[in-house]
Structure 1
Amino acid sequence: VSGVQDWKGGADPHAAHDHHAMAAAPPPGHASRAPLEYIVMRARAEHMPAPAIIQPPGAPNLFGPPNGNTWTLTTLTQNRPLVRKVSYDPETSLEVSRSGFADKHVIDRAVGYGIAWHEGQLFGLANQLVGVATVLALFTLAISGLLMWRRRKPDDALGAPPLPRDPARLKGVAAIVLLLATFLPLLAASLVLLWIVDRLILPRLPRAARWLGVARA
């Protein structure tokens, strides 16, 4: 499998102007004998998702080391599972190598699926509609939560909910929070900061503790 990760956050909007392929002239000292139109014809036969890019022999490779002595066809599609790379012989225009998403490391493939899902590119319009529905649900939750809190909070306090009476339920919530903190470093840092405020600062500020609803008897 390939060891080079492809965790980019999106394609360069200026990387291609043609929706089928963009061909560049060979740089000085790297002239090839295969006519460019043959390379373009073979590239179009691949039906790669746009933007697709043809790079001449010796050109800087967008994904790693220089291309070497081959024509290289790549795609910058945001749907990562469709990404692949094909190289052609500069003398005969015949295919000499091919690599794709399945050749990448398993971690790179998992991240690629996640990014494509997040960007709404994994399965087209349905993926985008799921994203829109998720955004609307989060927006509704934020607004409704604020309104419910404003209606129920005391006039002279923040209105924080009391601690649960069932210790077993509290342990279950703590286990879930600790599991999330293991994979989310910023959440872990926030929990440490909250613990410092709760244990070291609020005991010295009893009025603030009562207003927050965390005052201890």
Structure 2
Amino acid sequence: MRGSNLVELAASWTVIMIVTGLCLWWPRSFKGWGGILYPRLTRSSRIFWRDLHSVTGFWICFTALFLLATGLPWAKFWGEYFRSGRALVTSVTSQDWTIGGEEPSSSGEGHEHHGAAHGGGGGATRSGGGPRRGGPPMPASLDGLDRVVPTAVALRLAHPVIITPPAANSEIWTVKSDAQNRTLRTTCQVDGSTGQVVQREDFADQPLVDRLVAIGIAAHEGQLFGWLNQLIGLLTASGLVLLSVSGYVMWWRRRTTGLLGAPAVLHPPRFRWPLLITVLLLAIYLPLFGISLLGVLLLERWVLRKIPKTRDWLGLSTLIPELDS
């Protein structure tokens, strides 16, 4: 399995862990803000770890879900899923992000045109015709570059600026801002024979769905509103680590010796049907999660439960009858 698929699988299951964690945490009765907004430090160690886990989850759940959701357009399975849906609402085929680590195309999307001249950066160029690896054919002459660069400088686009030479038998150069804050990106078509801008596309000219994705990606990368954006991302990532550590500690303290699985269920869960419906909808919305969940259920039902020692070690025999039916 490719690394991008593993990342998508982990992200999809993290969404499920957050949603199901909120259902487990949801207070049965309100007894104050302790354990919700802040941990109760003077209580027992068991209460401390439970509060640390639940309070951290309460504060970061929405930002974590936002970061996970805004990273999905890059994912292989969900990205293709989204691209199919995007085609239903816009006729623009090109998009400003790649999917699943795919090789950049030569159509001017995302981080393409590497190796072309970078405005203001003295990027390398080469003369002579013929195709280049990973890009369009080079023109027979780069004389137009002397007219395009001054135009690119005058446009004062957000850096870095990438200048792409035209294909053969064309005089139209592409001047594109590749700023990490995608809301600042602009793409211009410049006539190499005159240095005049013949077409310009700003962020506001993009389809609505592309603008929403671009805003999400910029926020995901910490580039939308400066250091505060990066601080929120750092705190969210740190909170996810703390959730993992505190969750492991709670499991370790409650575990039954010799068993890997969760402790026995003492009473029927709350929100049973709403939770099942939510998980089903998420299995459709997150295809890699749905496929892996189905695989786990089939493996558990038809293989692991047939092996007594494995069944007991995983705690599969401790489920209450109503849930095991």
When normalised by structure 1's length, the TM-score is 0.77
The corresponding residue for 1:41 is: 150
Q: Given the alignment of the two structures, is residue 132 of structure 1 paired with residue 234 of structure 2, yes or no?
A: yes
Q: What's the secondary structure of 1:74's corresponding residue?
A: strand
> 185, 191, 198: which is aligned to 1:96?
198
- The 5 A counterparts of 1:1-217 are 2-8=92-98, 11=111, 20-22=120-122, 24=125, 29-30=140-141, 36=146, 39-56=148-165, 58-59=166-167, 68-163=170-265, 165-166=267-268, 169-215=271-317
- Structure 1, unmatched stretches of 5+, are 60-65
Alpha-carbon distance in structure 1 between the residues aligned to 2:169 and 2:188: 11
Would you say the 8 A contact 1:53–1:75 is kept in 2?
A: yes
Letter in 1 for 2:155: E
Alpha-carbon distance in structure 1 between the residues aligned to 2:219 and 2:169: 30
Q: What's the secondary structure of 1:179's corresponding residue?
A: helix
Would you say the 8 A contact 1:88–1:94 is kept in 2?
A: yes
Q: What's the secondary structure of 2:188's corresponding residue?
A: strand
Which range moved further: 131-140 or 70-79? 70-79
Would you say the 8 A contact 2:119–2:153 is kept in 1?
A: no
- CA shift for structure 1 position 21: 4.9
Letter in 2 for 1:142: S
Alpha-carbon distance in structure 2 between the residues aligned to 1:202 and 1:25: 61
Letter in 1 for 2:96: D
Would you say the 8 A contact 1:160–1:213 is kept in 2?
A: yes
- CA shift for structure 1 position 135: 1.0
Letter in 2 for 1:81: T
- Which structure would you say has the larger Rg? 1
Would you say the 8 A contact 2:161–2:178 is kept in 1?
A: yes
CA shift in 2, pair 1:171/1:107, >3 Å: same
CA shift in 2, pair 1:114/1:171, >3 Å: same
Structure with the larger helix share = 2
- CA shift for structure 1 position 160: 0.8
Would you say the 8 A contact 2:117–2:164 is kept in 1?
A: no
Alpha-carbon distance in structure 2 between the residues aligned to 1:111 and 1:191: 27
Would you say the 8 A contact 1:7–1:111 is kept in 2?
A: no
Q: What's the secondary structure of 1:213's corresponding residue?
A: coil
Alpha-carbon distance in structure 1 between the residues aligned to 2:305 and 2:193: 79
For the aligned residue pairs, the C-alpha RMSD in angstroms reads: 3.2
Alpha-carbon distance in structure 2 between the residues aligned to 1:128 and 1:109: 20
Alpha-carbon distance in structure 2 between the residues aligned to 1:17 and 1:26: 12
Percent identical residues: 37
Alpha-carbon distance in structure 1 between the residues aligned to 2:253 and 2:210: 47
Letter in 1 for 2:154: A
- CA shift for structure 1 position 193: 1.6
CA shift in 2, pair 1:67/1:46, >3 Å: farther
Letter in 1 for 2:260: L
Letter in 1 for 2:92: S
CA shift digits 1:59-82 (9 cap, x unpaired): 5xxxxxx79312331122222222
Alpha-carbon distance in structure 1 between the residues aligned to 2:273 and 2:163: 57
Would you say the 8 A contact 2:255–2:263 is kept in 1?
A: no
